[in-house]
Structure 1
Amino acid sequence: MILTNKKQPSVSMISKINKSKKRQARSWVEALFQKRDCVTFIPSTIDKTRCSCGLSLTFHCGGGSASVQLDPDNPNEVWSSLKHTVVSATDAYGTIEFQGGPHPTKAQYVRLSHDTRPETILHLFNREWGLELPKLLITIQGGKANFEIQPKLKKVLRKGLLKAAKTTGAWVFTGGTNTGVTRQVGDALLLDSQRPGRVVSIGIAPWGIIENNHELIGHNKDVPYHSISSPRSKLAVLNNRHTYFLLVDDGTSGRYGAEIELRKKLEKYISIQKLHPSAHYSTPVVCLVIEGGTHTIRAVLEYVTDTPPVPVVICDGSGRAADLLAFTHR
């Protein structure tokens, strides 16, 4: 028998290794993910002191006149993200540390352009966040405004969602903010957040709708975060029951919409991924509808008319669009 005396790595050596890994992650993320900034001030038709991107003239591109471009030859030009914004390396990614609860939780996040390729995002999930392909993708659709669900129905929803997600190794896609249907799903994930092996819940939200999003700016940053919104704010905070966030940036501020196409393309891309190289089956997608309005009905139509069609489960009794769809189906 040959005995070897292997030298254990010192604290300083471990620290250097960790710093090296962080630098590698930083260069990799910044090389592949971008943000968008509006560089052309096109007055809003509603408020001439505000750009069509949502920012006021004061805050637009830092507020300096040199940073604002106007086109006098085309006063009726319609603002476009692709035409009137510039891209640069993302400046916001890392770990959110949710504060205020009895069991503090953490979530990974990244700010990314709305036209980021789905294969790049999936590479982030696999390589940087260490996620395996899901055996099922549950995508939640519903209202953005806050609403209440009957206690009995809420209990059934919580048990059903957790059971489906835990037993199948599913991912859950939501809108990510602490409002409306996402808040209800967050409540359903409350008990699960206190256990090991949490459900993979991925919030896909517009960067421009997040309140105090400047606090998230940083490279591989650890951010203490409170999911408490200002009473008068028209913006939203992130829901603290999620484990990952994609903050989608199209250069706009204070509005939803940037996330819609990216989310659809990502869901489609995941649905065609083979779960195993030799397997003939891929990840199934199921849409769960809770409450909602006209946008939810439109989303359901797109799911059921897709190729192949995506199954839609309606939470009857949750209100508005869900009840209307359930009634129509009957």
Structure 2
Amino acid sequence: MNSLIQTDMILNNSIPWRAAIDRLKFQKRSCTTFIPKETDKECCVCNYIHPKSDVPHANEVWSCKMHTKQEVTDCYGILHQSTSPYLRCDVETDLEQLCFVLLGVWGMAIPGLIMRMIGDIDTTPNIKIEKELLQSISDAAVASDAWIITNGYKEESISELVGEVMYNCQMNNSHINFSAIAVGKWGNIHNCHKLEQRNHNTPLTIQKGHGRYKLELNHTEYIFFDDGTCDSLDTGEFASNFVRQISSGARGDLTPGFILLLIHTIYCSFK
């Protein structure tokens, strides 16, 4: 079984912030129209499996706004194996609400530095760069009460490096003053559907089309944005917009330009 997804029912039923999330009425999104791919007429453009009774709409161009529906999310709680909080939300969620979840609901401290880390799924840094980067990230994060934001995909080198930084710091010092926040696409997380299945009396079932990436489990918080698709491109736009919202709302003296410069520096170090 994937190391990610077992939902601890006792933890999730007793989480102190359940009522706050329910009041905020976050949404999730699902595809409503079966529009077959040109390359695979049995599969919808959204990559989810539709019931065989769904009539194909072959002459339409799939869009998130036109061919999905929103409903109140029931996907939030504590990841069983990491004891970190998670939330599934719609891709059009008010970013101020998400900031409130981090600061007001999950009780995170205002950061002294925000680091938006972008890597490459297909690129692995050499050992020397990896060690230098690990030390640099650790030093900067510890010195500034940082929030480090990645997509949380274990297969991406930068997410794994950040997870290693967090793990090492936890092993060496029980008091950690920085956070590693995963902001990734819900439908790209392997076996994400198991987070929806809260009734332990119902056997877990394997479903096709549920995510290509495993989660890096050493992050401290997880935000999953949902556009009604799975196994689709994550451009990082949602996470980057979220970072801008955090930086403008949490600390007026920390500008988006600084964050974008860091993105460019980290990305180029892997080229």
Give the TM-score of the pair, scaled to structure 2: 0.80
CA contact (8 A) 1:158 1:189 kept: no
Q: Letter of the 2:41 partner, please give it.
A: K
Correspondence for 1:270 among 246, 254, 258: 246
Corresponding residue for 2:22? 27
Q: Which SS does the other structure have where 1:189 is aligned?
A: helix
Please list every run of 5 or more consecutive structure 1 residues that lacks an aligned counterpart in the other structure.
1-17, 99-104, 222-232, 276-280, 288-302, 304-309, 321-330
Correspondence for 1:193 among 145, 152, 170: 170
The 2-side partners of 1:23 and 1:317 are apart by 41
The 1-side partners of 2:59 and 2:28 are apart by 27
**Could you list the per-position Cα deviations for residues 225-248 of structure 1 after superposition, in whole angstroms to 9, with x for gaps in the alignment?**
xxxxxxxx9711110110011111
The 2-side partners of 1:20 and 1:238 are apart by 22
Give the TM-score of the pair, scaled to structure 1: 0.67
The answer to whether residue 262 in structure 2 is matched with residue 314 in structure 1 is: no
More strand by share: 1
Corresponding residue for 2:205? none
* CA RMSD of superposed structures (Å): 2.7
Corresponding residue for 2:213? 236
Identical amino acids, percent of aligned pairs: 27
The answer to whether residue 16 in structure 2 is matched with residue 45 in structure 1 is: no
> Closer, same or farther in 2 for the Cα pair 1:312/1:217, shift >3 Å?
closer
Q: Which SS does the other structure have where 2:214 is aligned?
A: coil
Cα drift, residue 19 of structure 1: 5.2
The answer to whether residue 47 in structure 2 is matched with residue 54 in structure 1 is: yes
CA contact (8 A) 2:29 2:71 kept: yes
The answer to whether residue 93 in structure 2 is matched with residue 116 in structure 1 is: yes
Corresponding residue for 2:3? none
> Closer, same or farther in 2 for the Cα pair 1:32/1:265, shift >3 Å?
farther
Corresponding residue for 2:237? 261
The 2-side partners of 1:173 and 1:316 are apart by 14
Corresponding residue for 1:206? 185
CA contact (8 A) 2:26 2:89 kept: yes
CA contact (8 A) 1:141 1:174 kept: yes
- With CA pairs under 8 Å and 6+ residues apart, which has the higher RCO, 1 or 2? 2
**Could you list the per-position Cα deviations for residues 48-98 of structure 1 after superposition, in whole angstroms to 9, with x for gaps in the alignment?**
10001012xxx32xx152xx3544xxx432111111000001121111132
**How many residues get paired?**
246
The 1-side partners of 2:18 and 2:262 are apart by 42
